[in-house]
């Protein structure tokens, strides 16, 4: 399975690791914009050394109840980081945003993938990606980051998430975004209860019927806290387990905070899948 994104062509015959690079003041102490950029770049380079295949740069927290940031603030956070990283590394950079102006600026700065929790539903997002050669990750979310965890409801979470992704895939195809540029993601934690997330993991293998590579983001998420009883800073083992389980049932890209541990665990998966 080949994934085309910008100048990169990823062979997804083995699971790939997408390392998370947050450029937000709550993850990087507030010593001004220059310091924030440097800390994010430093962290990104560490993830590359640890074996990341892709880096996902995000400037707005989309955790439940997170405060939205302005367009200008998001641009000021992520664009300098992308500009520095494209010159220093040779793996695809992904921009984690739903704002079309951020997508456009990030692609211009050298980002190869648009990772969109809104699946290109915001105005202009579809045409901006279509006019580029970037890859895209279409994710499912019920509601908005501000409201999504209040009372998530589904009749059948698996078929509803699948139908949404199928529909967004068709919209992308109609807009001339080739299938080999598209990743799909069930969106763990985005408008889902513990039971919804567990059901999606149980049926993850069935998402392969959509015919696209699957990206899974479970790293440190609440469902792992609910299962283990641990706070977000003590979810490493559960996160690694989640990546291993996901890869075993067909996930091609694992979006994670803990790259070194995940890369090593996935070597065992690869050895078994041979
Ligand atoms: C994702 O799944 N997630 S941002 C809450 C946490 C820990 C982590 C309570 N962007 C995804 O990582 N993009 C995010 O602890 C994403 N798939 C894709 N494609 C949320 C996040 C997180 C939230």
pLDDT number for residue 28: 47
CA distance 187 to 158: 11
What residues contact 173, with CB distance under 8 A and at least 6 apart? 179
pLDDT number for residue 62: 82
232 lines ligand 1 (CB under 6 A): yes
Closest protein CA for atom 17 of ligand 1: 217
Tokens of 121: 């539903």
Task: Decide the pairing of beta strands 54-58 and 215-216.
Answer: unpaired
Identify the structural domains of the chain with CATH numbers, from first to last.
14-273 (3.20.20.20)
Active site residue 255: yes
pLDDT number for residue 265: 99
Q: Which of 17, 21, 62 to mutate to test the pocket of ligand 1 (most atoms within 8 A of CB)?
A: 62
Give the pTM.
0.97
**If you measure from the C-alpha of residue 253 to the centroid of ligand 1, how many angstroms do you get, rounded to a whole number?**
14
pLDDT number for residue 188: 98
222 lines ligand 1 (CB under 6 A): yes
b/e 187-219 (16+ beta carbons within 10 angstroms → b): bbbbbbbeebbebbbebbeebbeeebbbbbbbb
pLDDT number for residue 214: 98
b/e 18-34 (16+ beta carbons within 10 angstroms → b): bbbbbbbeebbeeeeee
Ranges in the chain, pLDDT < 50: 28
């Amino acid at each position: 399975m080949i994934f085309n994104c910008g100048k990169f062509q990823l062979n997804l015959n083995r699971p790939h690791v997408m390392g998370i690079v947050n450029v937000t003041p709550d993850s990087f102490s507030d010593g001004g914009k220059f310091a924030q950029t440097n800390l994010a770049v430093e962290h990104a380079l560490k993830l590359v050394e640890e074996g990341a295949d892709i880096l996902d740069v995000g400037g707005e927290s989309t955790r439940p109840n997170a405060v939205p940031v302005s367009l200008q603030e998001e641009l000021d956070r992520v664009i300098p980081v992308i500009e520095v990283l494209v010159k220093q590394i040779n793996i695809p950079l992904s921009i984690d945003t739903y704002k079309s102006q951020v997508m456009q600026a990030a692609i211009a700065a050298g980002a190869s993938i648009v990772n969109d929790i809104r699946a290109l539903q915001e105005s202009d997002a579809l045409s901006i990606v279509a006019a580029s050669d970037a890859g895209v990750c279409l994710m499912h979310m019920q509601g908005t980051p501000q409201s999504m965890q209040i009372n998530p409801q589904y009749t059948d979470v698996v078929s509803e998430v699948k139908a949404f992704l199928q529909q967004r895939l068709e919209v992308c195809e109609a807009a001339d975004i080739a299938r080999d540029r598209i990743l799909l993601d069930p969106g763990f934690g985005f408008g889902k209860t513990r039971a919804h997330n567990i059901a999606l993991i149980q049926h993850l293998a069935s998402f392969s019927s959509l015919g696209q590579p699957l990206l899974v983001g479970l790293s440190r998420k609440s469902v792992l806290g609910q299962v283990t009883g641990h706070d977000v800073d003590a979810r490493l083992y559960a996160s690694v387990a989640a990546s291993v389980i996901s890869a075993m049932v067909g996930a091609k890209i694992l979006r994670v905070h803990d790259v070194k541990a995940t890369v090593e665990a996935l070597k065992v998966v690869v050895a078994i899948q041979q």
